[in-house]
């Protein structure tokens, strides 16, 4: 047994709000055994009953939206408006997954001499390793479809944000989900997380986090040929063509990289602007950046809160020396981990802030000459998660959508994530897809069965 603990800090004040015990490797082992037992019963239950229980779980989450949201404001510094959406997203994910339980159909394939069918079987015990930037939604993206497909789930939340995950596990029991089917195991990545990845009883790891850790999880999974879904980093472009509605493009730009204080893998942190409208765009963008309301995340009017931790604040600062030219908004002084909205102008395309994931409220703006130049710049990165294209020319919108190597693109919008549409990265932004119509299939094996009619 371990006596290790994690302190949970309110990022808006720097105060310790809770201490949470960490899960040792031996405790992970015991949790896997309990989960495996619970999974057998769950997989054998009638699909309609599994669906009903997941709907009930969604209903209980719905009754606790405000409580979950307030908890996320305290442990993660999310604005209250965002936190309510995030808790609602958990409910919606559970509802959507519940609808899939009775629609998880195999196929019947024409063959000679018999009947051929495919059966989609659950994998067993799934390990979900979540980051701190969207603790509730990302936990639910893995958990809800995995449970719906007949699996058990062991969720390891990030060290800094375990509280909403622990509460969700309590709500699952309140809703009547079988004991041990969904367990939350707080702890350090290299101890608790690693124990899940190395455990032969865990069939698949769904990991969201940094590209560095994602690569190490893939390597650790290789000897067991363990399945992985990886959602990693991004450096997504926001491509503004001269023929776009420039006012609308400028008005939408601040929150495209400032939402969640820029701690968003889909943040549009490379603003690519056609040279002929570059100056005009910056004139429109400056007042929009300066007027973003940064402050107490519990205040309904706040648009941007603090960064998650001192470590993250130091990391963001290291990318932005004071003498770098740019547009800067405002942020509170004093306790808490605050950084003002920042758009870096006159920055070299190969400068660290222009090509590495900062994971803070910082974007770089770069000019381009024509469509080919925009595509070249957009793709000049190892990442490929998201991107936006602003143009009134529908042909151009489609050409550029096809040419940009990224998993989630939006035209004249910055939307990335809906539970009903697939989400995931190209290149080093990830492996596999979450959400969308095929969400449950990612938690199954396909078994093909041929039945001879000749015998
Ligand atoms: P991180 O990679 O350090 O940690 C993510 C999770 O992995 C945490 O729960 C951590 O405890 C765990 N972990 C760390 N080392 C581990 C190991 N050796 N074995 C098993 N688990 C381990 O990332 P972070 O700092 O929490 O999150 C920020 C990063 O996540 C950013 O780089 C961001 O781009 C990325 N991210 C990507 C997406 C996406 O969907 N693509 C979403 C959110 C965040």
- pLDDT tens-digit readout, 328-354: 999 999 799 999 999 999 899 999 999
In what order do the strands lie in the sheet containing 386-390? 326-328, 342-344, 362-368, 270-274, 237-240, 386-390, 408-411
Task: Judge whether 265 counts as a catalytic residue.
Answer: yes
Nearest to 414 by CA among 288, 247, 232, 251: 251
Which one from 75, 231, 357, 434 is the annotated catalytic residue?
Answer: 231
Segment 121-135 shows an average pLDDT of 97
DSSP characters over 119-168 = EEEE-SEEEEE--SSSHHHHHHHHHHHHHHTT-EEEEE--TT--HHHHHH
Q: What is the DSSP letter of 182?
A: E
Segment 22-30 shows an average pLDDT of 98
How far does the centroid of ligand 1 lie from the alpha carbon of residue 449, in Å? 39
Q: Which CATH class is domain 5-232+429-452?
A: alpha beta
Q: 237-417, superfamily in CATH?
A: Aldehyde Dehydrogenase; Chain A, domain 2 (3.40.309.10)
Which one from 72, 86, 265, 266 is the annotated catalytic residue?
Answer: 265
Closest ligand 1 atom, residue 129 Cα: 9
Strand 430-431 and strand 227-231: the pairing is antiparallel
Helices and strands (DSSP H and E) totals, the chain = 14, 18
2 has a pLDDT exceeding 60: no
- pLDDT tens-digit readout, 262-292: 999 999 999 999 999 999 999 999 999 999 9
- pLDDT tens-digit readout, 405-452: 999 999 999 987 999 999 999 999 999 999 999 999 999 999 999 999
- pLDDT tens-digit readout, 56-93: 999 999 999 999 999 999 999 999 999 999 999 999 99
pLDDT of residue 3: 61
Q: List all residues 6 or more positions away from 182 whose beta carbon is below 8 Å from its beta carbon.
A: 143, 147, 152, 153, 155, 169, 172
Check: CB of residue 256 under 8 Å from CB of residue 267: yes
Write phi, then psi, for 158 (nearest 5 degrees): -65, 155
Residues lining ligand 1, CB < 6 A?
Answer: 129-133, 156, 158-159, 189-190, 193-194, 197, 208-210, 213, 216-217, 231-234, 265, 357, 359, 385, 425, 429-430
* Tokens read off for 369: 């000459």
Q: Where are the domains of the chain?
A: 5-232+429-452, 237-417
* Tokens read off for 61: 């989450």
> Which of 231-240, 325-334, 390-399 has the weakest average pLDDT?
325-334
- CA–CA separation, 163 and 408 (whole Å): 30
Segment 218-226 shows an average pLDDT of 98
The mean predicted confidence, pLDDT, of the chain is 96
Q: From atom 11 of ligand 1, which residue's Cα is the shortest distance away? A: 189
Cα 83 from chain centre: 14
Q: From atom 31 of ligand 1, which residue's Cα is the shortest distance away? A: 210
Q: What is the DSSP letter of 320?
A: -
- pLDDT tens-digit readout, 285-332: 999 999 999 999 999 999 999 999 999 999 999 999 888 899 999 999
Q: Which of 189, 222, 423 to mutate to test the pocket of ligand 1 (most atoms within 8 A of CB)?
A: 189
Q: Which helix (H) or strand (E) holds 390?
A: strand 386-390
pLDDT of residue 322: 80
Task: Judge whether 355 counts as a catalytic residue.
Answer: no
Q: What is the DSSP letter of 178?
A: P
Buried b (16+ CB within 10 A) or exposed e, 328-354: bbebeeeebbbbbbbbbbebeeeeebb
pTM of the model: 0.96
192 has a pLDDT exceeding 80: yes
Q: From atom 33 of ligand 1, which residue's Cα is the shortest distance away? A: 233
Check: CB of residue 346 under 8 Å from CB of residue 253: no
Segment 142-167 shows an average pLDDT of 98
pLDDT of residue 418: 95
In the chain, pLDDT over 90 holds for what percent of residues? 97
How far does the centroid of ligand 1 lie from the alpha carbon of residue 207, in Å? 7
Handedness of CA 377, 383, 389, 394 (dihedral sign): positive
pLDDT of residue 1: 44
Q: What is the DSSP letter of 21?
A: E
Q: List all residues 6 or more positions away from 428 whose beta carbon is below 8 Å from its beta carbon.
A: 211, 232, 233, 382, 383, 384
Same fold: 5-232+429-452 with 237-417: no
How far does the centroid of ligand 1 lie from the alpha carbon of residue 275, in Å? 36
């Amino acid at each position: 047994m371990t006596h290790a603990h994690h302190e949970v800090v309110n990022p808006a004040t720097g105060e310790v709000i809770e201490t949470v015990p960490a899960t040792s490797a031996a405790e992970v082992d015991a949790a896997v055994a309990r989960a495996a037992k619970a999974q057998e019963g769950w997989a054998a239950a009638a699909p309609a009953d599994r669906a009903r229980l997941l709907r009930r779980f969604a209903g209980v989450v719905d009754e606790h939206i405000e409580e979950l949201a307030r908890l996320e404001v305290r442990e993660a510094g999310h604005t209250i408006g965002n936190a309510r959406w995030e808790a609602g997203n958990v409910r919606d994910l559970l509802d959507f997954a519940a609808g899939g339980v009775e629609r998880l159909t195999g196929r019947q394939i024409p063959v000679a001499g018999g009947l051929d069918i495919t059966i989609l079987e659950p994998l067993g015990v799934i390990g979900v390793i979540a980051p701190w930037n969207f603790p509730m939604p990302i936990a639910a993206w893995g958990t809800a479809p995995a449970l719906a497909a007949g699996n058990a789930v062991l969720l390891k939340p990030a060290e800094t944000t375990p509280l909403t995950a622990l509460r969700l596990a309590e709500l699952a029991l309140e809703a009547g989900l079988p004991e041990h089917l969904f367990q939350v195991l707080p702890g350090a990545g290299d101890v608790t997380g690693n124990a899940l990845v190395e455990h032969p009883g865990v069939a698949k790891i769904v990991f969201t986090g940094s590209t560095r850790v994602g690569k190490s999880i893939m390597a650790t999974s290789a000897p067991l040929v363990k399945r992985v879904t990886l959602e990693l980093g991004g450096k997504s472009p926001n491509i503004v063509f001269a023929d776009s509605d420039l006012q609308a493009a400028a008005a939408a730009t601040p929150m495209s990289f400032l939402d969640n204080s820029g701690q968003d893998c889909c943040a549009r942190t490379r603003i690519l602007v056609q040279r002929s409208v570059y100056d005009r765009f910056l004139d429109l963008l400056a007042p929009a950046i300066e007027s973003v309301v940064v402050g107490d995340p519990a205040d309904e009017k706040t648009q941007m809160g603090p960064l998650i931790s001192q470590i993250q604040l130091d990391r963001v600062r290291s990318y932005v020396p004071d003498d770098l030219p740019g547009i800067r908004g405002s942020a509170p002084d004093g306790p808490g981990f605050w950084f003002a909205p920042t758009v870096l102008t006159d920055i070299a395309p190969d400068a660290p802030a222009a090509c590495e994931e900062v994971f803070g409220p910082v974007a770089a703006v770069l000019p381009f000459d024509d469509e080919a130049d925009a595509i070249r710049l957009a793709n000049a990165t190892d990442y490929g998660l998201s991107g936006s294209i602003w143009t009134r020319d529908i042909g151009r919108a489609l050409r550029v959508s096809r040419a940009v190597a990224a998993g989630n693109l939006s035209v004249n919008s910055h939307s990335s994530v809906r539970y009903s549409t697939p989400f995931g990265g190209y290149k080093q932004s990830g492996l596999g897809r979450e959400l969308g119509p095929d969400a449950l299939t990612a938690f199954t094996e396909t078994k093909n069965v041929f039945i001879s009619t000749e015998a």
